[in-house]
Amino acid sequence: MLDVKLKGKTIAMVLPSKVGFERVAMECSASYARILGFAADKIEDIKTAVSEACLNAIEHGNKGNTEAKVHITMAFDGQGLAISVKDEGQGISHPLKEPNIESKIEGLEGPRGLGIFLMQNLMDEVEFEKPGNEHVVKMVKYR
Ligand SMILES: Nc1ncnc2c1ncn2[C@@H]1O[C@H](COP(=O)(O)OP(=O)(O)OP(=O)(O)O)[C@@H](O)[C@H]1O
Ligand SMILES: [Mg+2]
């Protein structure tokens, strides 16, 4: 996993924990990836993953606490764009299960529960960390 603390090359952002602000992170990641020369389809993957990670941080991590923040870093080391999304919550409390896409398409189960699945499928690396009173998802997309 890449270290996102690449001195001098890291973009850091602190967003209010409010649905809608995920778009700011999404656009920023796209802009950075474009500057770095990522292909258009990879930029779309990054945008979706960043948006889902931020929405999870807002909804499940910070749980409507308007004082809480979403902290985002983005860094490129020459090969991969490493993005971390941190919230002030307790992290994922239950084992993750693979969504049943067919049963969702057929309407046999609700449409939710796809965010992490999308992140894992669209990014090259995805890790969850729980350092103290914070939860971080770290993702890498290679150019
Ligand atoms: N940052 C987080 N903090 C705490 N729990 C989380 C966090 N991110 C995800 N989770 C837990 O993992 C579950 C699965 O997340 P996932 O994004 O896959 O689905 P969802 O958010 O429930 O629905 P969707 O993303 O499809 O709208 C969530 O329902 C939540 O219980
Ligand atoms: Mg989600």
Q: What is the pLDDT of residue 129?
A: 95
Angle between helices 40-56 and 22-35 in degrees, nearest 10: 150
Whose C-alpha lies nearest to ligand 1, atom 11?
92
pTM, whole model, 2 decimals? 0.93
Instruction: Tell me how far apart the alpha carbons of residues 32 and 46 are, in angstroms, rounded to a whole number.
Output: 10
Instruction: Tell me how far apart the alpha carbons of residues 119 and 125 are, in angstroms, rounded to a whole number.
Output: 9
Say what percent of the chain tops pLDDT 70: 94
Q: Give which of 120, 99, 14 is closest to 58, Cα–Cα.
A: 14
Index of the ligand 1 atom closest to the CA of residue 57: 1
Ligand number nearest to the C-alpha of 55: 2
Res 4 pLDDT > 60: no
Which residues does ligand 1 sit against, CB inside 6 Å?
52, 56-57, 60-61, 87, 89, 91-92, 112-117, 135
CA of 59 to the centre of ligand 2 (A): 8
Ligand number nearest to the C-alpha of 121: 1
Query: What is the C-alpha R_g of the chain?
Result: 15
Instruction: Tell me how far apart the alpha carbons of residues 53 and 85 are, in angstroms, rounded to a whole number.
Output: 7
At 51 the three-state DSSP class reads helix
pLDDT digits (tens, 9 = 90+) for 104-133: 898 888 888 899 999 999 999 999 999 888
pLDDT digits (tens, 9 = 90+) for 5-56: 555 578 999 999 999 999 999 999 999 999 999 999 999 999 999 999 999 9
Whose C-alpha lies nearest to ligand 1, atom 25?
115
Average pLDDT in the chain: 92
